[in-house]
Amino acid sequence: MSPRSRVILDRAELAAIVQRLGAAVEADHPDGVVLIGVLKGALVFLADLVRAVQHVEVLVDFLAISRYAPNSGRVRIVQDVQLELGGRDVVLVEDLIDTGLTCAYLLQHVQGLGARRVEVCTMLDRPGRRIVPITPRYIGATIADDAFVLGVGLHHHDRYRNLPIVLEADRSALDNDADAFTAWYGSAARSSSERPDFAMGAGGTLAE
């Protein structure tokens, strides 16, 4: 039996999310904004988002952090922001916010660099697992507490980041076989009837 998986955000839905969030960021920051992507996960989403903000000046920078102990919130910044943030509006861009521990740490760090205003934009939010009470201003979609997701920067041991869709996958299957969902490579552009059989599980797009 093929491992279970399903598309929760397809290309069209992701494009609509990016356009919606880009318009909101633009409306909130008429004097321009600095978008700071959290590497590596936010890179793909950020690349789409920055192109959706078309009528105000946008500067782009990155933060990279080390791995941390689960649920500890303890991280080490291994690549810091290079731009001068003093007096600027900043949006911290994430792929997924879970417990909020890392996001809270990064918010405090960026605020400490002198930003005038700091907001958070996340492609996916999982509020049911929140430990720190953070509410991102810009949210693409909300996912279930137990959903393990791949694609658009989300990964399993650095694989599957380049899938152009967000896929909910069986993590135990990946732990047993890292190639469990490689059939999705090249299939994301096909119609649903042509996609791998294991993509046809119940469910569909999550509410935005």
**Residues with catalytic function:** 98
Q: Which stretch of DSSP H or E encloses residue 118?
A: strand 117-125
40: cis peptide before it, omega within 30°?
A: yes
Instruction: Please name which of 178, 177, 173 lies closest in space to residue 160, comparing C-alpha atoms.
Output: 178
Q: Which residues pair with 107 in a beta bridge?
A: none
* CA separation for the pair 162, 179 (Å, rounded): 14
**CB of 110 closer than 8 Å to CB of 92:** yes
Helix, strand, or coil here: 19? helix
CB atoms within 10 A of CB 11: 13
- Sheet strand arrangement including 166-169: 5-9, 166-169, 149-150
Ranges of H-type helices in 99-181: 101-112, 171-176
* CA separation for the pair 181, 63 (Å, rounded): 29
Ranges of H-type helices in 63-157: 101-112
